[in-house]
Every structure is written in C-alpha cells, then in structure tokens.
Amino acid sequence: MRLRYDPTTNSLRLSLDREPGETSRTVDLPGYVDVGEGGRLVGVEIVPPPGLDLTAALQPWTDDPVAAEYVDVDPDSAYITLSVPEEGIDREQVRAAQATLRAELDDTRRLVALAIPRRGTGYEISYPSGNQ
C-alpha cells in the first residue's frame, strides 16, 4: 500500500501500490481514525453508506497479496491497519476519533484510493505526514 500526503486537501491518500483503476466518482464515508503516540496513524475504520457493498468495493485490496494482510472486512465495516507500535512497546495508548473519509471509486464501484483527513475533531495525524 502507498500513503501520500496531499497538501491541497491536508489529507493522506491511501492506495494500493498499483492502483486498480481510474477514479470515476468520490463518496464520503463515515469512519474512525486511530491515532497512536506522537500522532502516528495506526489505522482507519470505514463504515459504508447505504448502497455501497464494502466487500465488493475492497475486493482489489483483499485480492492483493500484501494489502490483504492489513485489511479486515465484514459486512458492516472494514479496518485497514497502517502501522504497529515500535518494538519494545507493550501497550500503547490509541485514540479513536470520528472522521469523514473520502473514497475514490472506479466505474465498477471498487476502491481506488481513500483520503484520510490529517486533522479533525479530537485528533491530528503528525506522522507519517509530518514530524514524528
């Protein structure tokens, strides 16, 4: 998976190493951002809006041999793990905050990329897009 900073929207854009298709539309998704110590992005939970089949939308991700290890999907939500605590840290405080994520979908309603706002009510991601 690839995570890039987009300064125009102050968001992180998550995509597969090889994007599955062209973006034909965007959809706002309710979800949660998990932030660890030092503002490190731990992961995101996606809650599908009515009419979006999350299992089908994430199929390119669950079919990818690398990404599949980090994507957990069930009918009501999906969780994408983006980082784990540093070695030697047994317990880490992780803060979950509601966020509106933006999904880029292709013509077949498959997820091409996911935009994660760097800042929101109750959280700020400072790493990997800024100082750690």
Q: How many Cα atoms are found within 13 Å in the side-chain-facing hemisphere of 5? A: 12
pLDDT of residue 40: 86
Report pLDDT for 131.
45
Say what the pLDDT of residue 51 is.
87
What integer pLDDT is reported at residue 85 of this predicted model?
65
Residues of the chain falling short of pLDDT 50 = 130-132
pLDDT at res. 90: 60
pLDDT at 132: 45
SS3 category, 101: strand
C-alpha 52/C-alpha 59 separation (Å) is 13
Q: Count the Cβ atoms, other than its own, within 10 Å of residue 97.
A: 15
pLDDT score recorded for residue 91? 66
What is the pLDDT, as a whole number, of residue 58? 94
φ and ψ at 44, to 5 degrees?
-135, 145
pLDDT of residue 98: 95
